[in-house]
A and B are shown apart, each in its own frame.
Chain A
């Protein structure tokens, strides 16, 4: 209950920005509702003029009909303006929420993003916000007018007949009570539905996203089975959520119909005693209708809002997730000189799994550091720490003599050029992808960078050359071509330090050989960290760090390590055995 109030408060914070539209919407709601409520009174007066054959008061009838005509015009206009305002508010709020979500995603720590499914987060930003917007729009269009209709009707009803008004007021809370009763019971069902839906989205993301593997293993029947299981679960709880919430409407309408009968009966008796006219009964009946309708709508809105709030809660969870620690206020920009040192660094992804323990390493400016070791020994983790994707648990990393936590993240990351094992390109043109490191690069610069990284040749062969649009996962390009683009991306704007994480693992060695030359030029005078399995890459390093189980077990250059005849030597020699 409290959580829901909390969510509601946060929603209100978003809505508040559109005060002007809310006020205008309210104003128009008041105008359109009051006028549309006044029309039945006029209609009643007109009907009272039709007493019987030969007793029709034509003279009084004309002005009344004219009045109705004018008022209905104004009402319609106010309604339209109100609709526009409501749209503006709803769509703007959902736009703002999506923006806040993406802003938060950009500053969330990688530990959060690495441990949450992409599908799940996407579902929050897109599906949940969308559903929330739907609920909110309904809320606005029907809640405002609903409340004003209730108040307006009360006012007009009391002017006609107090007794009937009191009967109506006493009976209608029943419908509110019924609505609240049902809403309370459906909230948890919607929440459950929302959760299972998220689970299903994650599953779809995984299986459709990797459909080729699924098919290669002929796993279609199994995944189908698994899918159908989740799907069945969703069916079960969706049916409950939808059915229970849809009882609200008929139930409240029943209460309203009883009220209608009561108004009719009491009105008739009052007319018998000469208290009110037939036209007034007609007006009252129409009020009884209009008075109870908003309760229907409001209760409908209430259930819709349950759903919307459940979605909003999930979005807020994301938006309010703790971001990575902000740069300290006095953080300066790093002025990299190429020196890096790690001192007594400890790091674990999971508290109970030791990974990097007490790692020490000093790198002089311009040195080429190769990190080698068996798979899973913590090489990639070192890079995560250097780039500050993760913060060390203990110890510290210094760049240019400064603790990297004391400088701005941007300047730190700007100091590194990075080519990762997992190539990632964004949807857009080849040109845009290369220019990522330097948005204002000229065409000549881009082509030069592409040539330097041997990407120019294949780019030229693409249908639209540098303007070829590629999809999110690079689609048309081979793994190696993607890698070349990633290299070109760094090549365009060379920072003082480089990180190459198995950067050449999926490029053929002929191309690699050429790239190596480019790399050599690129690395000249630059501190480079290379995680590579290729001995050709490693051989030329100034320092080779041999890692095992998160620790440096050997350190030196190729020759000295070979002479040592230790772990490195056995690694190196293994390539000649079968």
Chain B
């Protein structure tokens, strides 16, 4: 019961989480290489802000000194200063943009790479509990959002507060009583800005979750297109997509309604403050403490605060989104590999021996054991057939050999050594596995085969293809080994894919070969030829054949019959046929007894 209910988990885990921030902090190490950029970008932005802050003072000087004293020379030189400030500001700003872009893009590149590596390091158990759709969103759109957020953050997050407080300080240098209005306004503004942010942040997370659902449905519609069309479900599927789509839109609108309050509220606060400034200004001018130009400078500072706060607000929305995404990325990063690796890995001695000692397996979250009390041992070069009904634990059994899962109890030994004592790479190097689902990857046939062994030359590849009965498939392609394989191997038929995946495993020249029901799409002749070819290989691997065809395993040295996870028969074909009712039932369902053959002949048309 491995992957149960992950769909529900995707949709409803969305409560507000304060620890998000600390989570995001854990992503910071990926910024380390860009420490210089992360310091320089805001620094240059602040420099630019300093020049911006000087502008109202220069303008006040023009009014209060230049105009008052009729000094045209002064006015011209002050305007010159304004132009010079603009030019220096331009240079600072471009420099900042460059560093910010470099840090943001670099960060996301490293994070993406690290996340990819992390996902690759997860064990099968973690992959079962996460969906692929989820992991793919984390890798793509989530990290993109983080990149955009960081880029904005680096450029504006220091600059905006700096201008806000800078303007207040400048106001104090002009007139401390008037400046008190700044002291009142700024906290009020912050309250509005941060209050709205606190409300919207968790909701953006929900929006993202909804988007995930829409993504999942889209994927389903693509992977299941044949079934959907066969059942004429196009309209229903469209409806299902649209329902989810409408939900998403509705949520987006709800969040938008509140975040859209930000600009109007700040506008009211700032203009209220300007009214107060003029009123206080009037009193101060009246008693000769202020001059007209200075009142203008104060109003200008207040306007600057508005401009910066609007920027800050937009920034916060983006950063909130980015933080939500970063939190989700970190959630994946925090997934622990449930499999412990031996501190001092050893390499077993011997070649291809496998033993199970009272092995049981229960999958994470499952109520019942998928395998229980299994004991057997096989020697080098033997063939082991594993047969049993659907869900009887056949795949579970072979999954334990390359340590895809850890046995819940008991020990699995390969070459006389507990698999948990191995370095995983070393262990899996010994094993060639052909999974049930025949998956090929985009690239050439050669590239696909070399998955088995990077060093293999063409002769080795052809030898493996011959053994796997796939040489004709490749010869039939105009480019031979260089034939391109589409994503998922779609340009090959199911049977061709199966044989190619068998060849891929053989290229490795494994000690242990596992065929997990991997000849199901092959006709009997090919299946038989394949087994014969494997048997007659020099250094023939110990071969595990999982199958539902008795014919595939009947000549095995050891046949293990499984029923609901328990071994109900073990031995050779002849013995089992006599002693194991489950086995003989399977066998006779496929090979009719001679007398039945006779009746089938006569009653064939009934």
- Is B226's beta carbon under 8 Å from chain A? yes
Task: Determine whether the beta carbon of A121 is less than 8 Å from that of B1.
Answer: no
Expressed in whole angstroms, the Cα–Cα distance for A212 and B434 within the complex equals 11
A residues near B139, Cβ cutoff 8 Å: 204, 208
Expressed in whole angstroms, the Cα–Cα distance for A210 and B526 within the complex equals 27
A453 to B: closest C-beta gap in Å: 12
The SS class assigned to the B binding surface is: helix
Task: Determine whether the beta carbon of B299 is less than 8 Å from that of A43.
Answer: yes
**B-facing mask of A252-294, CB < 8 A → 1, else 0?**
0110011011101100110110000010011001100100010
Expressed in whole angstroms, the Cα–Cα distance for A130 and B395 within the complex equals 41
In the complex, 16 of the A-B residue pairs with CB atoms within 8 angstroms, ordered by the A residue number, are: A51-B292, A72-B268, A83-B264, A103-B238, A217-B433, A217-B504, A235-B109, A269-B72, A375-B494, A375-B495, A472-B219, A506-B390, A510-B582, A533-B522, A536-B592, A558-B604
- Is B357's beta carbon under 8 Å from chain A? no
Task: Determine whether the beta carbon of B249 is less than 8 Å from that of A508.
Answer: no
A118 — nearest CB in chain B belongs to which residue? B222
- Is A442's beta carbon under 8 Å from chain B? no
- Is A364's beta carbon under 8 Å from chain B? no
Task: Determine whether the beta carbon of A208 is less than 8 Å from that of B119.
Answer: yes
Task: Determine whether the beta carbon of A224 is less than 8 Å from that of B117.
Answer: yes
Expressed in whole angstroms, the Cα–Cα distance for A98 and B375 within the complex equals 55
A residues near B295, Cβ cutoff 8 Å: 47, 50
Expressed in whole angstroms, the Cα–Cα distance for A50 and B303 within the complex equals 19
- Is B359's beta carbon under 8 Å from chain A? no
B70 — nearest CB in chain A belongs to which residue? A272
B136 to A: closest C-beta gap in Å: 6
Task: Determine whether the beta carbon of B390 is less than 8 Å from that of A416.
Answer: no
Report the interface size for chain B: residues with CB under 8 A from the other chain. Answer: 197
Expressed in whole angstroms, the Cα–Cα distance for A271 and B215 within the complex equals 63
Which residues in chain B, 90-143, are within 8 Å of chain A measured between CB atoms?
90, 93-94, 97-98, 100-102, 104-106, 108-109, 112-113, 116-117, 119-122, 124, 127-128, 131-133, 135-136, 139-141
A residues near B555, Cβ cutoff 8 Å: 578
Which residues in chain B, 437-455, are within 8 Å of chain A measured between CB atoms?
437, 439, 441-442, 451-452, 454
- Is B459's beta carbon under 8 Å from chain A? no
A494 to B: closest C-beta gap in Å: 13
Task: Determine whether the beta carbon of B257 is less than 8 Å from that of A232.
Answer: no
Partner of A254, one of B90, B238, B261: B90
A572 — nearest CB in chain B belongs to which residue? B524
The 6 A-B residue pairs with the shortest CB-CB distance in the complex, in nearest-first order: A375-B495, A480-B390, A475-B3, A83-B260, A257-B86, A87-B256
Interface locus among A12-20, A160-168, A396-404, A418-426: A418-426
A243 — nearest CB in chain B belongs to which residue? B101
Residue of A210, A475, A534, A558 contacting most chain B CB atoms (<10 Å): A475
B residues near A218, Cβ cutoff 8 Å: 424-425, 428-429
Interface locus among A146-154, A338-346, A444-452, A463-471: A463-471
Task: Determine whether the beta carbon of B220 is less than 8 Å from that of A80.
Answer: no
B297 — nearest CB in chain A belongs to which residue? A282
Expressed in whole angstroms, the Cα–Cα distance for A570 and B528 within the complex equals 12
Task: Determine whether the beta carbon of A278 is less than 8 Å from that of B67.
Answer: yes
Task: Determine whether the beta carbon of A479 is less than 8 Å from that of B517.
Answer: yes
Task: Determine whether the beta carbon of A76 is less than 8 Å from that of B303.
Answer: no
Q: A50-B281, A103-B238, A206-B488 are in contact. Are A426 and B220 (CB under 8 A)?
A: yes
Q: A271-B67, A475-B128 are in contact. Are A102 and B238 (CB under 8 A)?
A: yes
Partner of B85, one of A56, A79, A257, A373: A257
A residues near B226, Cβ cutoff 8 Å: 110, 387, 389, 418, 420, 424
Task: Determine whether the beta carbon of A372 is less than 8 Å from that of B523.
Answer: yes
Partner of A376, one of B63, B101, B495: B495
Task: Determine whether the beta carbon of B452 is less than 8 Å from that of A478.
Answer: no
Task: Determine whether the beta carbon of A484 is less than 8 Å from that of B390.
Answer: yes
**A-facing mask of B217-232, CB < 8 A → 1, else 0?**
1111111111111111
In addition to A79-B267, A254-B90, A506-B548, 13 A-B residue pairs with Cβ atoms within 8 Å of each other are A50-B282, A72-B268, A76-B265, A107-B234, A113-B222, A125-B214, A130-B141, A200-B140, A204-B116, A375-B493, A480-B391, A509-B548, A576-B551
